Structure 1
Amino acid sequence: MIGDRQSWPDEILRDREPPMDAWRRREENCMPDTPPLIFRIVLAGISLWMAFGVASCASKGSVKSETHPKYIIHEIDLQGVTRFKKSEFLKYLYMDETSWWTWTGLTDTYYFSKGFSKDDAKRIEELYKSFGYYQAAVKEIRMEPLKEGSDEVRVTIVVDEGEPILVRLIVVAWTDGAVSQKEVEAAITLKQGARFEIRALNRSVEKIRLVLESGGYGLAAIQESAEVDRDRHWADVAFSVSHGPYCRIGRIRYSGLSAIPSHLLDAEIDFAPGKPYSPELLTRIEKAIYAMDAFNSVSVSPDKELGPDGQLGLLVQVVEGNPQRLKVGIGIGIESNRWDSHLSLFYTHRNISGDLVRFDLAAKAGYALLPYPWEPNEHGPILKLEPHFTKKGWLEPKLIWTIKPSFALDIQEGYQYYTPSLRFGVSRFLFGFTLAEASYNAQFFDFFSQSSLFQLNKTVLGRDFQDPYFLDYLEFRYTLFFTDDFFNPKNGVIIDAIYDISGAWLGSFYDYHKITPEIKAYWQVFSHLQAAARASTGYIFPYGMKPGAPISMKYYLGGGDTVRGWGLKRLSPRIEDCDPSGKCSSLPVGGKTMALGNVELRFKTIDVLYVVPFFDVGDVQSGEMEYKPSQWSYSTGGGLRYDSPVGKLRLDFGYRLNTFSRFSGDARWAIHFSFGDAF
């Protein structure tokens, strides 16, 4: 047994974590003279976006010095610090180096303060103690101007680290028999002969608990203790382990429900009762309930003892969110061959009938000019109205039903159109990582203000152009998610396949099959760099008594989401449109065979700004299964991503690496401004 131990530092005993948590607590209790209002103006592309927020606390370096308000910390020089990297060391301090990004308003300006430097000296010594250096001391913190008369200074911190405390002995004592003893001992991150670190001690306790709980021992108890001899520089560590009874999930109770009935939650987590207890199962329960999109927070905790049935009950605590959300905004869309400005409205009611029938409404109204606002060849109003109803649980608890009527008024090169449509679909997750979807779609298209090439008696498109036309088709989609996250993957692969079939037997004016497989891959190389790639192809096969496909359903490439060296839909088979003076322009009409590939590197420079170089390749041909690699178009370029309060803003510049005579009239570059990642 371990004898009497010396006292650990008071702050360590109180927090049981390195001083990072203490820093967070001190930040929450910042000085009362902290400015309460922060305005940050960020220039993204050609648009001005303002984020306005009220903060009760400033960040760690935003408080100006009461002694030297003009001295800006430009550089911090560490002397005698070998245990920590500079970036890691500075995270624990109030002071930091002022970044050159400060002018953007996205980073803080750090000022030198004698008061804060004294606090930082104490924090440095406590930091070293938590990592096993009980004799570490700050010898000096001094400030000197970079040059005479400058308000930018260099701060030098001199540290004597001293000798570290080493682990001499580790003992594991079982109070109720050894279960998974080898796994428990392997989970201990502290090692004999290594430095004694509080963080490693706490991590060892959590890993022991994780091993036992993952094995079904949900009531496991672990008690750690240590004897530290500062003079001899050693520490003896002991763990007392009680695994308790083997546990299965019993009754699940809810706290915080008001407008949402509990049976809807029961249906989402029907996989849990009777299963062996494990932290992974609790996380799965939390994710399943949170995915209902009805709660602001979800937490699951086990009971302290087994219930009368010999099983371990769970308490699910939820905070219901406001069922209604409304967003109204002004937007601008920029492509090299199309500009538009619009008003947008998004309304959501997540529980319109009391049993989680969801209603979403997206509306947009504006005006578009093609190709440029200062020299429009075509222009017209744009309108989009999309109500959307969603309900889960009809016929089968996991089925998700949707009905989406919509109306659109828009303009494309060579024509304007309006289209009412209806989509009725059902989807279901299978096996936890696949999504199967099926839908019936009906659309009516009517063209107006079209070029003479889109007149029924003059068009060269044959059956592929009818005005107006009805389109009815069934769509089947199957998606495999081999990723760490469904919606924002950092690593993994997504495989997707879409199959459409249209025919006169559905009431459609067209008979065709359309198949579009796609694969996307993501790799988080390190914390500030993600590599992403996409490969896709597509085929349209006419059949039957009405063979053909309308231009609205054909394949087009070009624009901010596909091949970025091209304007919107410009990488496509075309027809020539010439006026009486002999001036001609080419109008994209889509194709039946598509190939697409993208690779991009997403560099995170600061918390909200990304730099993204990319390479794109693609082609669209008018024939069926018509691949012509010699005619594929290659583009490269770069872009910026700004993670704003209204979503991720994207500005890309693409340049075409090759060109062909059939596209000789097109610029070899394009600019795109839009939202979200390209894929």
Structure 2
Amino acid sequence: MKLASQICLFLGCLISVAAPDLRAQSNIEIDGLGWLGERRMDQRLSFLLGLDHQKAVPLDSTILEDSAFLLLEQMRRQGYLNPAVTASFSGATERSVAEWETPYAVQLPVGFQAESVVFKIRRGPLFYYESVEIKGLSGVELGDPERFFVPGGSLVTRKKDLAYTSENFTRRKTRLLGALKAQGYAGARVVSEQVDTDESTGAVWVELVLETGPVYRVGSVSFDVPAEATGWFEPVAFPEGSIFNPDWLREARTNLRNVAYSAGYPDVAVRSRLADTRGDTDGVLQAVSFELRPGPQVTLSDVRFVGDDKTKNSILWRQADLEPGTLLDPRETDKARRRLMALGIYKQVELNYDRREDGSRVAVYRLTPDTRKKLQLLAGWGSYEQARLGFRWAHQNPWGRAHRYSLNAKQSVKATHLASDYQLPQLFGSDFTGYVEAEYVSRQEIGYDRSRQGGLFGVSKLLGDSGVRLALEYGWFNERADGIDESMLAVRDDAQVASVSLSLSLDRRNNVLAPSSGYNLYTTVKTANRALGGNVNFHKLEVGGGYHFSVSESTILHLGLKGGALLGGGMDLPFNERFFPGGENSVRGFQQGEATPLGDDGDPLGAESFWVANIEIEQRILSDVSVVGFLDAAGFSRDGGFGGDGEVLASAGLGLRYQTVVGPIRLEYGHNLNPRERDPDGTLHFSIGFPF
């Protein structure tokens, strides 16, 4: 009952705070799709008709016929190929009912009007791929070619995931042929196709016969370049024998264009011509000739910014980092466009060129500012904190220097969190972003209460194209812990921590909210010292990362490892700086902070050093539903190191996840494999977000 009430409370918070407005016109109603489906179709219809969904709309024959046509088309796109729509009118001038079937035909006379309408949709059978048979691919390494038509990635495939339409059938054939051509089968084609359908059940049987032809490889490469270009053009080396495919041809043309761009020829045209072919033991060698027409050499005479009269020109010039009078390289002007977007204050940045009489050009950046002031309502859930509600107020570009500040407030059953930050891009004309933050936290932990208030300032920078982000910070915080047993642990329960920290992070995951491949790494080194303005001395090191990869198309392995250590603190060490592993994102057999050394009363004391390892197998059942099996382990020491007082705890468990746009909703149970006397047998967690 407790878990059920928690889930209901969570859903109520989420719907009330974050649910989109699904209302449509008050005088247009959709029926026959279920409550949520009808609301979505209402909203979709409003969008397609270009109507304000909060207002009633005059219903004439044009609006009603367009609505019926769009509803039929929306159903067909979902795989319901024979839908019908019945309209029941109120206040109509001539008739009270009309019906449209597939194929669409006009039903209402010109001049027809009604006050309101209910469209009842009869979807008919869902047409779906019952089987797909592909012939002619023997000896071709293409995995399972049926997967181009029948999706994988889960143990159970729903009928709606197999929906058949003539449009998606054509797209999937094109992707299949594209995959063959990417392997060098330039002549791959469909020799014959047969599509049989059962109109009563919607089952579709597909048979394709393909002809791949030989593998094409790159043969001789020649260049047709005008004489005036010989001074700057250097032929690009293309080794013979590479797989010849559209990607190779595209990349070759791009490389040749880049050679011309670097010499100031932005209008260069590169054309390719396939010349003779000759056979060899590995297939066919394709000779290719490239024709290069550079056009005029162009100078960048000026840079203009239009559409934003709030931001100072000096900021925009510094961010664009372009120098008038130099040769125009479109790659550099496009990099400048991306740098302007990186300021974070624009919805869109468009790049165009104005031509001058002397042949030079002006780069014109059309800037579309984003909303300057935003208020966001926040909602979340954690198994320990339970419901979290709050808001975030953000103000962008308040002084015309691309600065940003925000105010954040969150309240949960266990904690109060208030924070504000101010960001300054291009600090002192550099590539560093400066920031200032202030924070107040009051949180009820298991066995004690802690609070933290103070602030920090720092700088951060993305190191080139490496993806590594560096941050250097100075912080001052007052940290207090109430309710700890000082006889069990010689630490400070009230400390002023002044510190300098250095952080490095790298994130190569394909999806931060729900990763299925890639990795991330991070490390932070923090030094607190009285000379910096506090009253304690210590060092703190934290490192960690995760790795994710697919074992099969429906199975993902997740690995996580993190650890940390406190050094040189002694009796100066603040209690709040100790490590408290355990919880929904750590060792899941425990509540938040319970997988630590315990006092005589069973309350957590925290550790001076720790490590946590997570191994997790995720098996997708449906495209958005997964089951997980996990093994979590933590090692820790109350007084540092992993010597005589070190312990290791482990838990194993199962969970269920539902993927949403804000991350997975998780229901997990972790069972403790080696519980101590006062440890629970296990813990049930209900939370949102990926665990590591």
Q: What range describes the TM-score normalised by the shorter chain of this pair? A: 0.5 to 0.7
Could you tell which deviates more after superposition, 493-502 or 565-574? Answer: 493-502
Is 1:108 the counterpart of 2:163? The answer is: no
- Which AA in structure 1 matches 2:201? D
**Residues 242-294 of structure 1: CA distance to partner in whole angstroms, max 9, x if unpaired?**
45688897744434434333322333343888999878756654543333221
Deviations 1:131-152 (A, max 9, x none): 555874435322359xxxx836
Deviation track 1:570-626 (CA, whole Å, cap 9, x = no partner) reads 11122133xxxxxxxx10021222233345566777765666655433222221334
Residue number among 632, 636, 646 corresponding to 1:616 in the alignment = 632
Match of 1:80 among 112, 135, 140: 135
**Shift in alpha-carbon separation, 1:128–1:358, aligned structure 2, 3 A:** closer
Pair 1:408-2:441 in alignment: yes
Aligned pair 1:140/2:223, yes or no?
A: no
Q: Which residue of 2 aligns with 1:379?
A: none
Q: What CA distance in whole angstroms lies between the structure 1 residues aligned with 2:565 and 2:389?
A: 34
Counterparts of 2:306 and 2:461, CA distance in 1: 27
In structure 2, C-alpha distance between the alignment counterparts of 1:541 and 1:610, rounded to whole Å: 45
Say whether 1:323 aligns with 2:372. yes
Contact 2:373 / 2:393 at 8 angstroms: preserved in 1?
yes
Contact map agreement 2:145 2:176 (CA 8 A) in 1:
no
1:665 aligns to 2:681 (yes or no): no
8 Å contact from structure 1 (residues 35, 58) kept in 2: no
Alpha carbons of 1:434 and 1:330: their partners in 2 closer, same or farther (altered >3 Å)?
Answer: closer
1:222 is displaced (CA, Å) by 0.1
Partner of 1:423: 455
| In 2: Cα distance, 1:51 partner to 1:473 partner | 56
Match of 1:156 in 2: 206
Give yes or no for the alignment of 1:472 onto 2:497.
yes
Counterpart of 2:346, as a letter, is F
User: 8 Å contact 2:561–2:611 — kept in the other structure?
Assistant: no
Answer yes or no: is the 8 Å Cα contact 2:563–2:611 preserved in 1: yes
The 5 A counterparts of 1:337-348 are: 338=384, 340-348=386-394
Q: Find the counterpart in structure 2 of residue 678 from structure 1.
A: 691
Cα deviation, residue 558, structure 1: 0.7
Per-residue deviation, 1:59: 9.3
Shift of 1:554: 1.2
CA deviation profile, 1:183-202 (whole Å, cap 9, x unmatched)? 354499774xxxxx666655
Contact 2:479-2:574 at 8 Å conserved across structures = no
- CA–CA distance in structure 2, aligned partners of residues 200 and 36 of structure 1: 50
Within 5 Å, which residues of 2 pair with 1:360-375? Answer: 360-368=406-414
> Amino acid of the residue matched to residue 479 of structure 1?
L
Cα separation, 1, equivalents of 2:563 and 2:263: 43
Alignment match of 1:593 (pick from 591, 609, 617): 609
Q: CA deviation at 1:634?
A: 3.2
Deviation, structure 1 residue 423? 0.7
Structure 1 stretch 206-215 or stretch 424-433: which is displaced more? 206-215
CA distance in 2, matches of 1:614, 1:277: 55
Matches within 5 A, 1:347-386: 347-368=393-414, 382-386=415-419
Q: 1:307 to 1:314 in 2, by over 3 A?
A: farther
Residue 557 of structure 1 deviates from its aligned partner by: 0.8
Partner of 2:26: none
Q: Residue 289 of structure 1 is aligned with which of 313, 331, 340?
A: 340
Contact 1:73–1:96 at 8 Å: present in 2 too? no
Distance 1:156 1:481, change over 3 A: closer
Q: Which residue matches 2:569? A: 542
Code of the residue aligned with 1:209 in structure 2: it is: R
- Tell me the SS of whatever aligns to 2:413: strand
Residue 438 (str. 1) matches residue 487 (str. 2) = no
Q: How does 1:212-231 map to 2 (within 5 A)?
A: 213=261, 218-225=266-273
**Deviation per CA, 1:527-569, whole angstroms, max 9, x where unpaired?**
96575543322124226xxx33232221111112333333210
C-alpha separation in 2, matches of 1:187 and 1:326 = 59
Determine the structure 2 residue equivalent to 1:239: 290
Distance change (3 Å), C-alpha of 1:655 and 1:287: farther
The one-letter amino acid of 2:569's match is P
Residue by residue, what CA displacement relative to the aligned partner does 1:451-496 show, whole Å, maximum 9, x if unpaired? xx64xxxx41465254xx3423213123154858997896466341
Match of 2:60 in 1: none
Alignment of 1:566 with 2:590, yes or no, is: yes
Q: Which deviates more from structure 2 when the two are superposed, residues 608-617 or residues 159-168? A: 159-168
State the AA in 1 paired with 2:530: G
Q: TM-score, normalised by structure 1?
A: 0.68
Match of 1:108, SS state, is: helix
Q: Is the 8 A contact 1:539 1:624 kept in 2?
A: yes
1:670 aligned counterpart, secondary structure: strand
Q: Pick from 56, 69, 73: which aligns with 2:124?
A: 69
Long gaps (5+) in structure 2: 1-29, 49-72, 83-101, 103-122, 278-283
Q: 1:553 to 1:673 in 2, by over 3 A?
A: same
Contact kept? 2:382, 2:688, Cα under 8 Å: no
* One-letter amino acid of the structure 2 residue matched with residue 552 of structure 1: N
Residue 194 of structure 1 corresponds to: none
Superposed CA RMSD in Å reads 5.1
**1:614–1:53 Cα change, 3 Å:** farther
Structure 1 residues 268 and 563: alpha-carbon distance in aligned structure 2, compared to 1, 3 A threshold? farther
How far residue 77 of structure 1 moved from its aligned partner, in angstroms, is 2.2
CA positional deviation for 1:108 = 3.3
Question: Do 1:519 and 1:536's aligned partners in 2 also have CA atoms closer than 8 Å?
Answer: yes
Q: Is the 8 A contact 1:98 1:109 kept in 2?
A: no
Q: 1:460 to 1:247 in 2, by over 3 A?
A: farther
Deviation string, structure 1 residues 152-208 (Cα, Å, up to 9, x no partner): 6241324364867979986532234566665354499774xxxxx666655543454
The alignment partner of 2:577 has SS state of coil
